[in-house]
Amino acid sequence: MTETQHATVLIVGGGTTGLSTALFLARQGIRPILVERHPSTAIMPQARAFNPRTMEIYRTLGLEEAIRARTSILADWPGMFGADTLAGEETFRLEMPGPDRPQVELGPTGWGLVDQDELEEILHAEAERHGADVRFGTEMISLDTDDDGVTAVVRELASGTEYRVHADYLVAADGNRAGIRGRLGVGADELLSRTHSLFCVFDADLTDALRGRRFTLVYLNRPTTGTVLVPIRQEGRWMLGMPYYPEKGETQEGFTEERCVELVRAAVGDPDLDATLVPPVPGWRQKVSFSTSGGWVAQRFRAGRVFFAGDAAHVMPPSGSYGASTGIADAHNLAWKLAAVLGGHAGEELLDTYEQERGPVARTTVEQAIRLMSLRTGGTGDSAAEAENLGVIYGYRYTSPAVLTEPSTPDTPFEDPRTPTGRPGIRAPHVNLKRDNATPLSTLDLFTETFTLLTAKDGKDWHPAATTAAKKLGLTLHVHHIGTDLQDPDDRFETTYGLTPTGATLIRPDGFVAWRSPTLPTNPADTLHHTLTHLLHKPQPRA
């Protein structure tokens, strides 16, 4: 075994959550090591829709154009419906908002309909470009933790070489099997019983059953409730997914190619359909695959120096397309806090707020995904449940010491983003702005990897105050004077953010409102210094 290597952060898992964590950290000057046992990024589409909040995050990093350039064929197939069989009558239909149809009152961008394997290629390249050390084909085989950090033994699968990595912190993004969480004895609360599913990819001409329709996904009751059919990347290729029941004696071995073709015919509603099973990707021998899913949330999101993110922290059914986006939001929340602590700008206690904030959001999101799944597999749509998606995507609330929560804040998990309040703890609302050269932008485009202060039109005294407070704390604090530095053409900023003309609002690096002052205080520099010190849990020097 070679000598020990050192890193500030070790990330285990190279999916969207792990790669996003690496990218977010690297952009803030932290050079993590990421290990992933698979030889490359994903080779299957897997997640195929990333919600607008996720696209806002990537937009602030300048990645939206690159992601849109790889838009899936599903962008032109926005429908989703339910039926007994594909050839049968529809029981409900939902039209999903596409990437070119953002809900302009809520944000500057729409859904990202990109296949996960395509997105991961972008994240991998960007993470390495900013300095992350990404090591595919490398697995963690043991882990020791103590008060000073973590020590992992990792192995390069191609060569068999083993070595140690010592890190200050570890981010476990190792998927729904949650191997690291299990090693550390952290359990999960099961909100939906685990289910077993099979998947097969097949080629068939479904022209007659389609009747001119295109769709992102269809829920079917045949051959069993919970069956889904989705198009793959080329015309005439489809994937069938359906539950199976070991408790009823069904086994994986029982799903032969011949039987799966019969299941395809039953789902389509054509007993004579000419269907051929194919490997999901070139070179694979396996034509039928199996997985386990359900709905659960980790009982803790942190164990000492180890943090759980993505599917290692929460698993949910695919309804609502929440899973991957929720993991990316975990990474976004955690990365700036790790960077602040490692950079000496925040106290260790700031890291406790990761669990305090992301745990309740994960539970609410899993519950919503379960509700949608129940409705859709039951053959119905529910407009009220679908409307709540807006709250789950845009309006979830953080309550922790990293937010100065106002006394009037309601005790609800999220707010309706269609009526923004600008309260601390909520994603900063979208307002259309313009630069002097008339270039349009959103308030959300202003929030990158540091704290940002937005001041109203008569708030010029905030700028020198922010400079003074930031200098005392050794922080970078961006200041934007709305109405002067940036134009507010619709005159919405003050109302949307709950400010008077002399007020200001402080936005965290992850784009959430941390604090606001509706009016100018007597000593704004002292107020900002005290506020930032409190939010960052920054130890005060001894007198």
Q: For the chain, give the percent of residues with pLDDT over 70.
A: 94
Task: Name the burial class of residue 251, with classes exposed (0-12), middle (13-18) and buried (19+) by CB atoms within 10 angstroms of its CB.
Answer: exposed
Q: 102 pLDDT band (50/70/90 cuts)?
A: low
Catalogue all structural domains in the chain, each as residue range(s) with its CATH number: 5-72+110-188+295-394 (3.50.50.60), 191-293 (3.30.9.10), 432-535 (3.40.30.120)
Task: Say if residue 379's pLDDT is above 70.
Answer: no
Task: Say if residue 359's pLDDT is above 60.
Answer: yes
Q: In the prediction, which pLDDT does 540 show?
A: 62
Separation between Cα atoms, residue 466 and residue 345, nearest integer Å: 16
Instruction: Please calculate the CA angle 392-396-401 and round it to the nearest 5 degrees.
Output: 155
The residue to which tokens 């882990």 are assigned: 143
Least confidently predicted of 43-52, 118-127, 423-432, 485-494: 43-52
Tokens of 400: 């922790």
Q: In the prediction, which pLDDT does 302 show?
A: 98
Task: Say if residue 255's pLDDT is above 70.
Answer: yes
373 touches 380 (CB < 8 A): no
Task: Say if residue 380's pLDDT is above 70.
Answer: no
Q: List, in order, residues 6 or more apart from 134 with CB less than 8 Å away.
A: 14, 19, 22, 34, 36, 124, 127, 128
Q: 73 pLDDT band (50/70/90 cuts)?
A: confident
Residue 59's CB is within 10 A of a number of other CB atoms, namely: 21
| Overall average pLDDT of the 8-16 stretch | 97
Task: Say if residue 230's pLDDT is above 60.
Answer: yes
Q: In the prediction, which pLDDT does 542 show?
A: 47
Task: Say if residue 382's pLDDT is above 70.
Answer: no
The residue to which tokens 């540091």 are assigned: 450
Write down the mean pLDDT value for the chain. Answer: 92
- Give the CB-side neighbour count of residue 65, counting CA atoms within 13 A: 1
Q: In the prediction, which pLDDT does 283 show?
A: 65
Tokens of 94: 């939902």
Q: List, in order, residues 6 or more apart from 431 with CB less than 8 Å away.
A: 442, 443, 482, 488, 490, 492, 493, 496, 497
For the ranges 75-84, 132-141, 383-392, the maximum mean pLDDT occurs at 132-141
Task: Name the burial class of residue 135, with classes exposed (0-12), middle (13-18) and buried (19+) by CB atoms within 10 angstroms of its CB.
Answer: middle
The residue to which tokens 């949330």 are assigned: 297
For the ranges 177-191, 385-399, 429-443, the maximum mean pLDDT occurs at 177-191
pLDDT in tens, 85-98: 999 999 988 776 55
Q: In the prediction, which pLDDT does 349 show?
A: 97
| Overall average pLDDT of the 212-238 stretch | 90
Residue 118, H or E segment? helix 116-129
Q: In the prediction, which pLDDT does 222 show?
A: 95
Q: For the chain, give the percent of residues with pLDDT over 90.
A: 76
Q: 543 pLDDT band (50/70/90 cuts)?
A: very low
Separation between Cα atoms, residue 267 and residue 270, nearest integer Å: 8
| Overall average pLDDT of the 483-488 stretch | 92
Q: List, in order, residues 6 or more apart from 30 with CB less than 8 Å away.
A: 8, 9, 335, 338, 339, 342, 343
Q: In the prediction, which pLDDT does 422 show?
A: 97
| Overall average pLDDT of the 205-232 stretch | 92
